[in-house]
Amino acid sequence: MKKTFVLDASVLLHSADSILAFDDNTVVIPEAVIEEINNFRKDGSDRGANARQVGALLDQLRLRGHLLEGVPLSNGGVLKVELNHTSCQLPSRWDVDKNDNRLLQVCLGLHQDKNSVYLVTKDVFTRIKADIIGIPVQDFHHDQAPELHYQYQGRSEVFTRSSHIEAFYETGFIHLKDLFIRHKEDWLEAPLIHNQFVTITAFDNYNQKAIGIAKNDKVALLKYIRQKPFGVIPRNTGQKFYQEALMSPPEEIPLVICKGPAGTAKTFYALAVGLHKIMNSKDYRKILVCRPYIGMDESIGFLPGTEAEKLGPLMRGINDNLEILIDNDEKLRYDSEKKLKDKVEEFYSRKIINVEAVAYLRGRSIAKHWIIIDEAQNLTPNQIKGIITRAGPSTKIVIIGDPTQIDHPYLDARSNGLSYASEKMKGSPLCCQISLLENECERSLLAQEAAQRL
């Protein structure tokens, strides 16, 4: 039986291609949703871009027939714009002049007409209200990653014989066929993915360990484990893996994705390696830091001041990390706040570090840059795709975030751009990923305790 999917504005503004994501079923867009999308078409944000793309698609489709009667889609489905069902009764206190309630009226009317109706919305409160009036409802799952527990971590623990570990240090590699994982009572060959980091433990001596990275049919020793970028020494296994990914040249690994809780030095390490590369070589022209902020990316053009001044409050976390990197003497670092501030500001005044709004990356081709995308869990899949595809020759992009800490009203641990990119780029020879663990928090004992308990 064919189904009817009614799309909310939140879905279309999240992904303009969502119209084509329902196979050969019927897709319905109520007129109230079109009005709501129209309100965003002049925005300079990604929502504005999606609104304009939806408008262009509907304009093309109307040439195939009458939108109110239904027009064919390229996937075999049908698209309809719905004006009817204004007389359907909602709970008396619900104002039908509100777009959300008008949307629910359409769903209820189609349901009463014996259609197999499903409302698709990313708005949790609209889902609750649909459930109240008995309308089947779902989130838009087309570009979602798996549940957080099952998402790609970029690292794995495997086992082998002591003799293989000894040979590993001598030859620099170990064959995948000699690595195993424990599954119930059996030992199975380890299903490693290209560029996946590996912790290897000996069957016969659990104190004998090694770490490496999967490359084709082998695991290789880390190349950069003894480096000290900008004077920083990795303090745990996760940071050793992260350093390897960051230090690899952009011709080999142009994309690094790092997930992890607060205090695991995600941003700190990305800055340290970026500064090391710029100060000690000509690999990159400058560091570009972007950090999305919900609300500001849409309205930044209307705020007073320069772009740097508008984004200044968002970059305080970057400045905190720079203070530590500039002066590694913890006892003397804060003796003169003015000197410390001047040192930080010098990086900006010399254009070594630049800050930009995520929205301003659209349409560019950025060559020979070290790009840090901080708090990437607040980006949509379309935004993250737009950022990664901006990379020009010799540019390295480091995408950082914590998928459990999301501020975007229509994103969660599965639908955010960080998790989406992680799953889609898994196994790519051009991408390294690492998830830092709660017990790898290095900010302070309190930060580590809070990451584990709260």
- 376-388 tens-digit pLDDT: 999 989 889 989 9
Which of 50, 30, 31 has its CA nearest to residue 41? 50
Whether pLDDT at 340 is above 90? no
pLDDT of res. 337:
79
Whether pLDDT at 302 is above 70? no
Whether pLDDT at 306 is above 90? no
Whether pLDDT at 217 is above 60? yes
Which of 123, 131, 124, 81 has its CA nearest to residue 106? 81
pLDDT of res. 219:
97
Whether pLDDT at 303 is above 60? no
Q: What's the CA gap between 13 and 53, in Å, rounded?
A: 9
At residue 401 the predicted structure's pLDDT band, cuts being 50, 70 and 90, is very high
On whether the CB atoms of residues 148 and 404 are closer than 8 A, the answer is yes
On whether the CB atoms of residues 159 and 209 are closer than 8 A, the answer is no
Whether pLDDT at 300 is above 50? no
- The sign of the torsion formed by the CA atoms of 94, 97, 100, 104 equals positive
pLDDT of res. 213:
98
pLDDT of res. 179:
96
pLDDT of res. 293:
65
- 422-440 tens-digit pLDDT: 999 999 999 999 999 999 9
Asked, colleague to colleague, whether 146-221 and 237-453 share their fold, the answer is no
pLDDT of res. 11:
95
CATH 2.30.130 matches 146-221: yes
Q: Which CATH superfamily is domain 4-138 in?
A: 5'-nuclease (3.40.50.1010)
% pLDDT > 90, the chain: 69
Q: What's the CA gap between 219 and 137, in Å, rounded?
A: 46
**Which sequence spans correspond to the domains of the chain?**
4-138, 146-221, 237-453
Question: CB atoms < 10 A from the CB of 403, how many?
Answer: 24
At residue 449 the predicted structure's pLDDT band, cuts being 50, 70 and 90, is confident
- 119-165 tens-digit pLDDT: 999 999 999 999 999 999 999 987 789 889 999 999 999 999 999 99
- Third-level CATH fold of 237-453: Rossmann fold (3.40.50)
DSSP codes, 267-308:
HHHHHHHHHHHHHH-SS-SEEEEE---TTHHHHGGGSSS-HH
pLDDT of res. 384:
93
With 0-12 CB in 10 A as exposed, 13-18 as middle and 19+ as buried, what is 389? exposed
At residue 370 the predicted structure's pLDDT band, cuts being 50, 70 and 90, is very high
% pLDDT > 70, the chain: 93
- 230-283 tens-digit pLDDT: 999 999 999 999 999 999 999 999 999 999 998 899 999 999 999 999 999 888
On whether the CB atoms of residues 2 and 110 are closer than 8 A, the answer is no
Whether pLDDT at 311 is above 70? no
Structure tokens at 187: 């030992």
Which of 401, 405, 368, 404 has its CA nearest to residue 383? 401
Mean pLDDT value across the chain: 90
